[in-house]
Amino acid sequence: MDPRVREHAEIIVDHSVQVEPGDNVVVRAPHAAEDLVVAVMEKLGEVGANPSLTLSSSRAQRAFMKASDPEDFELPEHQMAAAEKADVAISIRASRNTHESGDVDPQKNMAYSKVMKPLQDEMMDKRWVGTQYPAPGNAQDAEMSMEAYENFVWDAINKDWDEQREFQANLVDILEDGSEVHIVSGDTTDLTMSIEEMEPVNDYAENNLPGGEVFTAPVPDSVEGEVLFDMPLMAQGREVQDVYLRFEGGEVVEHSAEKNEKVLTAVLNTDEGAKRIGELGIGMNRQIDRFTYNMLFDEKMGDTIHLALGRAYEMNVPEDRERNESAVHMDMIVDMSEDSFIEVDGEVVQRDGTFRFEDGFEE
């Protein structure tokens, strides 16, 4: 076994979900992640936890979905009973084919997700982590060889997360005290928003592995200006390129895209909240140095920011403040590595990808 698999397992068990002796642990993984399951089980044995293994098979799920009548969908009581007694959930993704659900009616998938939501909510109440094991389907999406993709994934994951937490804490401090954010990239992006009293979160690989971002929520009606997202995004199973948005009073008043603009229009028309921004995230994982069509990685890419149309996270918004609500949460990324800066309350915090708390920063 590649020694990096055992490192990965150690970070999952010891860092992300901090398994204790006697914990009831659910490990959920597909066939393609077999080696990581073996390594995680080894770690769980060392710790003295009580594991169970759930198979997530996109082929089996597709077969079940295609054969099912949505009127028969019921929350499986036995899965729910297990979830209620679990302390920790470890969810591993790995695809041999990322299009396995491509011929399942999306309406049916939505109906199933709705029925299964209490189970998902229950699992999110545990110590949980979602991670990625390098598999051929994911390498293919990333347009990388298997070996290059393995290097990419484990470089992003097998890090000193304490060091990363401290590095990111510098930005959390700035955003906690800050109010006005100004984001400029080239001639195409010039955006302002207020983050006053919002609560920035330091993502150092607890729920997401890799982690590596700091994210907060803007005051919903405060967003003004225009932005061009120069990284592609996937929406409703299709790739949307070069999304351009112009905001007034927090709302999108003009939009366009080079490819699949109709999809973008449909997303914006989902509900009222879909026209407003629910998240501002700043990617800080420098080992993620390319776009791989996998949001778990893409949104943490170093030298990028991302904005999400739609729903804001509860953890970012104090209870007495307005939180943007929507059925949608669509992340979109701006490259900040060149000819770009982020200002907070008039002070430059990042220029061309380098933070003011790093060597090489130029005011």
Q: Kindly state whether residue 8 participates in binding a second copy, applying the rule CB under 8 A.
A: no
- For a second copy, which stretch binds (CB under 8 A), given 36-44, 251-259, 292-300, 306-314? 36-44
Q: Which of 2, 14, 50, 345 binds a second copy (CB under 8 A)?
A: 50
67/319 with CB nearer a second copy: 67
Q: Kindly state whether residue 18 participates in binding a second copy, applying the rule CB under 8 A.
A: no
Where are any strands of DSSP class E within the chain? 24-29, 50-55, 88-93, 127-132, 180-185, 189-194, 201-203, 208-209, 213-216, 224-229, 233-235, 238-240, 243-248, 251-256, 277-283, 304-310, 329-335, 340-344, 347-351, 354-355
Q: Kindly state whether residue 114 participates in binding a second copy, applying the rule CB under 8 A.
A: no
85/259 with CB nearer a second copy: 85
Q: Which of 2, 3, 60, 265 binds a second copy (CB under 8 A)?
A: 60
Q: Which of 7, 10, 34, 141 binds a second copy (CB under 8 A)?
A: 34
- For a second copy, which stretch binds (CB under 8 A), given 34-42, 175-183, 196-204, 271-279? 34-42
Distance of CA 126 to the CA centre of its chain: 18
Please identify which residue in the block is written with the tokens 């990096």: 4
71/362 with CB nearer a second copy: 71
**Cα dihedral across residues 204, 209, 210, 215: positive or negative:** negative
Least distance between a second copy and beta carbon 205 (Å): 23
Least distance between a second copy and beta carbon 79 (Å): 5
Distance CA 239, CA 176 (A): 35
The answer for residues whose C-beta is within 8 angstroms of residue 251's C-beta and 6 or more apart is 221, 223, 275, 276
CB 327 within 8 A of CB 274: yes
Contact residues for a second copy, defined by CB under 8 A: 21-22, 24, 26, 29, 31, 34, 37-46, 48, 50-57, 59-61, 63-69, 72, 74-86
